[in-house]
Chains A and B, each alone.
Chain A
């Protein structure tokens, strides 16, 4: 099972400019998490702080009992072997071809024979759809291929924690869907903890177990996916629907005058850039490809979420309960299986959920 990452009160600034403060979250072991946020909110900086490439001003980031903010350099290199990191541009070594790039971690850290290395490398290249491109140099291939090669290199040591910095940027929607499936399949196969930083809404809705969002130098929220997907928080609603109305502006924040003007425009019938339907709400999560083992994270997460169910907002509770099967409802002691909305007769009164709807 993947390692747990505990981040407590992490604060980072460059000079006088604060990037984010007091970020506290826990990446549950073996689960897939997504960190959303408008461009320029320090998502990449957050990733780099988690692996010790940047030194946060304050706070702790504990992995397997080692606080990587304060530990020694030798320890840091040791902990980093648990990580597989996919950088925004792939960060391949420009002087090596794809094969050598992917083989690099194996040659550095293992005593495997060349034959064995070849088998693993070709396997990972095939997994990322790069068979036949082994001899190409990073400068000779497209950005999407570089990204997939970067992923292949990140996977080659079977990491316990996989960090992906915008895996979808520069990829078309189809390749993004394949990549999403690949990440879920990986999670099913090696049970690694995965953190994806992105602003792709579709990926955020379907892939993760947990969702978080960074905005205005703070972590707006982080928790089970249902919480963010059903949130009434204006920032979250605006971001998920990709519209101009709301607190997020072209520069990170906008002032009251602009908000008022935009609202007036919207009232006069000018589109705010979003599609008509509300993209919020819990949608079914991506499942591993048939034939692969079951994702252990799903059950662990359900157990964990059901324990904290009472502390979640009502809309999220509803979303979670609706996503449970009959057997699961019984298992979690929700004895009287509530009628699912589809079975509810039109005239029947909808039962109130604990806490009540607003």
Chain B
């Protein structure tokens, strides 16, 4: 923030990263501060849900379909046709659902949060709030981040169901698979922890989307154009972070939870 002391290449990126983490910690701490902004929280939940539900469902159907199609052809070649259902359920619940959810929460909800906070920042509303002795993190950011998390978790369920149904439809109707085998193989490979990790991922992705959007919104550079840039950056940064965190979580999960039957 201050003191143009000695600088080295990458110092700026490190500083930004550090401040992003500081905001994340601030948010976590402020979640437990009373009074909780229930009204703002509900409004934000409703807002984020309303802009994400339809696109998410529309993305989930083709996503389930491509997984079913791709796996279907592959598995027929391997001669394990009866496991199509199991494979597509694993792929959708563990990977596709949290990612689709997070991309839409970040793309539709996060960008709106970033634009909202950003325009408040350049209108000095955030400054005014701080001067009035009210923490903008507690008042504005926490309800938004929590809303993003809640909506992500709920949407994750929606995507799972819609995706599996899409996979079922394509497998059974278009590829001539047997309905019984598709449904019966669900529990052959998939297990309950798969669902937990899926929801956990959605929760974490929602948190990241909310915090990144808020961080970029609180620090726009140079007036109204800066807000536009900040929205753009917040979506890109969130996507990058999501795929990286997803990789880490998946790797850890596969190590910690043994695959079924092994």
A81-B133, A108-B132, A109-B133 known; A89+B124 contact, CB < 8 A: yes
- Shortest C-beta distance, B52 to chain A (Å), equals 21
Tell me how many residue pairs across A and B have CB atoms closer than 8 Å: 58
Contacts of B1 in A (CB 8 A): 55
| Interface 1/0 per residue, B105-121 and A, CB below 8 Å | 00000000000000110
Contacts of B173 in A (CB 8 A): none
The reply to whether the CB of B256 lies closer than 8 angstroms to some CB of chain A is no
- Shortest C-beta distance, B177 to chain A (Å), equals 52
- Shortest C-beta distance, A101 to chain B (Å), equals 9
- By the criterion CB–CB under 8 Å, are B124 and A91 in contact? yes
The reply to whether the CB of B3 lies closer than 8 angstroms to some CB of chain A is yes
- By the criterion CB–CB under 8 Å, are A87 and B130 in contact? no
- Shortest C-beta distance, B8 to chain A (Å), equals 16
* Interface positions of B from 26 to 76, Cβ below 8 Å from A: none
Which of these, A56, A57, A91, contacts B128 with CB under 8 Å? A91
The reply to whether the CB of A244 lies closer than 8 angstroms to some CB of chain B is no
* Complex CA distance for A8 and B131, rounded to whole angstroms: 21
Which of these, A48, A56, A80, A91, contacts B133 with CB under 8 Å? A80
| Interface 1/0 per residue, B87-122 and A, CB below 8 Å | 000000000000000000000000000000001100
Contacts of A16 in B (CB 8 A): 4
The reply to whether the CB of A211 lies closer than 8 angstroms to some CB of chain B is no
The reply to whether the CB of A332 lies closer than 8 angstroms to some CB of chain B is no
* Complex CA distance for A96 and B231, rounded to whole angstroms: 24
Contacts of A80 in B (CB 8 A): 130-133
A15-B4, A16-B4, A94-B120 known; A53+B132 contact, CB < 8 A: no
A16-B4, A77-B135 known; A91+B130 contact, CB < 8 A: no
- Shortest C-beta distance, B242 to chain A (Å), equals 29
The reply to whether the CB of A83 lies closer than 8 angstroms to some CB of chain B is yes
* Complex CA distance for A51 and B4, rounded to whole angstroms: 22
The reply to whether the CB of B2 lies closer than 8 angstroms to some CB of chain A is yes
| Interface 1/0 per residue, A38-60 and B, CB below 8 Å | 00000000001001010111000
Contacts of B135 in A (CB 8 A): 77
- By the criterion CB–CB under 8 Å, are B120 and A87 in contact? no
Would you mind naming 17 contact pairs between A and B with Cβ atoms under 8 Å apart?
A15-B4, A51-B131, A53-B127, A57-B2, A77-B133, A80-B130, A80-B132, A81-B133, A87-B128, A91-B124, A92-B128, A93-B125, A94-B125, A104-B132, A105-B132, A108-B133, A150-B128
Excluding A87-B124, A89-B124, 6 further A-B contacts by CB distance (< 8 Å) are A55-B1, A91-B123, A92-B125, A93-B120, A93-B125, A105-B133
Residue numbers of B with Cβ under 8 A of A are 1-4, 119-120, 123-125, 127-135
6 shortest interchain CB distances as A-B pairs: A91-B128, A91-B124, A81-B133, A85-B131, A80-B133, A87-B124
